[in-house]
Amino acid sequence: MLGKFELYMPTDFQEACALKANGALPVAGGTDVYVNMHGGKDRVPEVLDIKQLKELQGHSYTEGKGLDLGALTAHRIIERWDVIKQHYYAFFQGCSQVGSVQIRYRGTLGGNIMNGAPSADSIGPMLVHDAVAVVAGPNGERSIPLEKFYTGFKKHDIKPDELLTRIRIPDTPENAGSAYYKYTRRGAMDLALMGVSAYVELDGDVMRNVRIALTTAAPTPMRSHAAEEVLEGQPVSDDIIVKAAEAVASEGKPRSSWRSSAEFRVRLLHDVTIQVLHEAIERAGKPFDQKCEPIPERLYPGQDGLKPRPKEEV
Ligand SMILES: Cc1cc2nc3c(=O)[nH]c(=O)nc-3n(C[C@H](O)[C@H](O)[C@H](O)COP(=O)(O)OP(=O)(O)OC[C@H]3O[C@@H](n4cnc5c(N)ncnc54)[C@H](O)[C@@H]3O)c2cc1C
């Protein structure tokens, strides 16, 4: 049961902003909103369907400029769009792992950002691709780097009379590569127990503009600036990648939950970072000779109170 509510479906943007300012809850694909309402959470008397607002629609790519994505862009569009695989591979990996095909047809980027779950699969990839969130309301438009858009657990830099309208992501040069790894407890549809995204540009052998983002490692998706600093301007080597993984493992502050202990998540942060950096560097044009460490087997509750593996085992 969803409960009773008044449904508004405005086509005028300012009307939508006024309804939101009066307490109506925006709904895009509804894969979070309606599921929550069905479960008895977030039941509100007024729901604002934003799907008819042209300010939130459309998606385009301009060479040299990048992506301009309406907040209503569905994960499935990103997953099926050649441009994304070519220039924003981590973003393809993130969006193609959201729920099921049905969820990806309905669920939107705007909804994923605004729902604000630390496990959101599209956010880490957007963070490493330097995405900017555009919000708009009666006082005009504001552009906020996605990293700064999160102000706390499920909290954003958005005013009651504003909506998230667009996401803009700069173009990537040819010497860039990115990757996202989502670790789940099972092979089928599941939320991320841990996720790491990486972006790197290669200047010969030297890593530039390195960006690393962590999923489910803190109350909000976050960048790992300490690890980025370790890698920035350094030539590619296994040693430096392991150092970056150690920095990620000490910067991420995951919590224990029924999905996993915090200790196991920290170990994953380390191992997954190595894998993701290898992948991103390979995509940027430098194949790796050495195989990276295997990521730990999926574990079940009660089995995951593991300590980091001793060095000789790695
Ligand atoms: C079975 C299932 C599996 C799932 N699996 C995953 C998964 O693997 N990975 C993952 O990341 N997510 C997953 N989700 C969560 C969900 O599908 C995503 O978060 C999705 O992107 C939400 O988009 P939506 O358009 O449906 O959001 P909605 O439910 O419409 O909205 C979500 C929130 O954002 C707000 N909102 C939406 N658009 C705007 C806007 N433009 N401006 C301001 N506020 C806005 C709404 O008010 C609401 O608070 C899953 C959900 C289900 C039901």
Distance from residue 95's CA to the centre of ligand 1 (Å): 12
Q: Which of 298, 303, 130, 119 is nearest to 201 (CA)?
A: 130
Task: Provide the β-strand partners of residue 197.
Answer: 180, 213
pLDDT, position 288? 62
- The 3-state DSSP class for residue 179 equals strand
Nearest Cα residue to 233 out of 208, 265, 198, 201: 208
Q: Look at strands 150-152 and 59-62 and give their pairing.
A: unpaired
Q: What value, to the nearest 5°, has the Cα angle with vertex 112 and ends 107 and 117?
A: 130
Tell me, in angstroms, the distance from the centre of ligand 1 to residue 171's CA.
Answer: 26
Residue 79: CB atoms within 10 A of its CB come to 20
For residue range 225-250, list pLDDT tens digits in order.
999 999 999 999 989 999 999 999 99
- The answer to whether the Cα torsion of 264, 266, 269, 271 is positive or negative is negative
d(CA 113, CA 105): 16
Strands laid side by side in the 222-223 sheet? 176-183, 194-203, 206-215, 222-223
What distance lies between CA 44 and its chain's CA centroid?
27
How many angstroms separate the alpha carbon of residue 47 from the centre of ligand 1?
15
Check: CB of residue 168 under 8 Å from CB of residue 71: no
CATH classification number, 54-170, choose in 3.40.50.12780, 3.40.50.970, 3.20.20.80, 3.30.465.10: 3.30.465.10
- The residue whose C-alpha atom lies closest to atom 32 belonging to ligand 1 is 111
Task: Give the 3-state secondary structure of residue 120.
Answer: coil
- Cα distance between residue 277 and residue 100, in whole Å: 27
Please report the atom of ligand 1 found closest to the CA of residue 99. Answer: 5
Q: Which long-range contacts (CB under 8 A, 24 or more apart) does 95-99 make?
A: 95/121, 95/122, 95/125, 97/121, 97/180, 97/182, 98/122, 99/31, 99/189
The token pair that represents 52 in the structure block = 């008819």
Per-residue confidence (pLDDT) for residue 289, from 0 to 100: 58
172 and 208 in contact (C-beta within 8 Å)? no
For the Cβ of 147 lying below 6 angstroms from any atom of ligand 1, the answer is no
- Higher-confidence position of 50 and 271: 50
Q: Ligand 1 in contact with 53 (CB < 6 A)? A: no
Question: Cβ of 228: how many Cβ atoms within 10 Å?
Answer: 23
Would you say the CB of residue 44 lies under 6 angstroms from ligand 1? Answer: no
The rounded percent of the chain whose pLDDT value lies above 90 is 77
Residue 312 pLDDT > 50, yes or no? no
Most confident of 204-208, 252-256, 257-261, 300-304: 204-208
Tokens read off for 45: 């008397």
- Select from 108, 109, 155 the residue to mutate for testing ligand 1; criterion: most ligand atoms less than 8 Å from CB: 108
- Ligand 1 atom with minimal separation from the 122 CA: 11
Dihedral (CA of 113, 197, 178, 211) sign:
positive
Tallying the residues shown for the chain, one arrives at: 314
Which one, of 278, 279, 281, 226, lies nearest residue 250 by Cα? 226
- Its CATH class, for the domain covering 176-307, is alpha beta
Residue 259 is predicted with a pLDDT of: 76
Which amino acid, 70? G
Q: Is the CB of 57 under 6 A from ligand 1?
A: no
Residue 117 confidence (pLDDT) above 60: yes
CA of 112 to the centre of ligand 1 (A): 4
Residue 188: per-residue pLDDT: 76
pLDDT classification of 301: cutoffs 50, 70, 90:
very low
Q: Is 176-307 the same fold as 54-170?
A: no
Q: What is the mean pLDDT of the chain?
A: 91
Domain edges within the chain: 6-49, 54-170, 176-307
Q: Which residue has the tokens 């959101």?
A: 120
**What residue owns the CA closest to ligand 1's atom 21?**
112
pLDDT for residue 308 is more than 50: no
Mean pLDDT of the region 11-35: 97
Give, for 24, the enclosing helix (H) or strand (E).
none
> Burial letters for 172-189: b for 16+ Cβ neighbours within 10 Å, e otherwise?
beeebbbbbbbbbbeeee
Structure tokens belonging to residue 220 = 């909000």
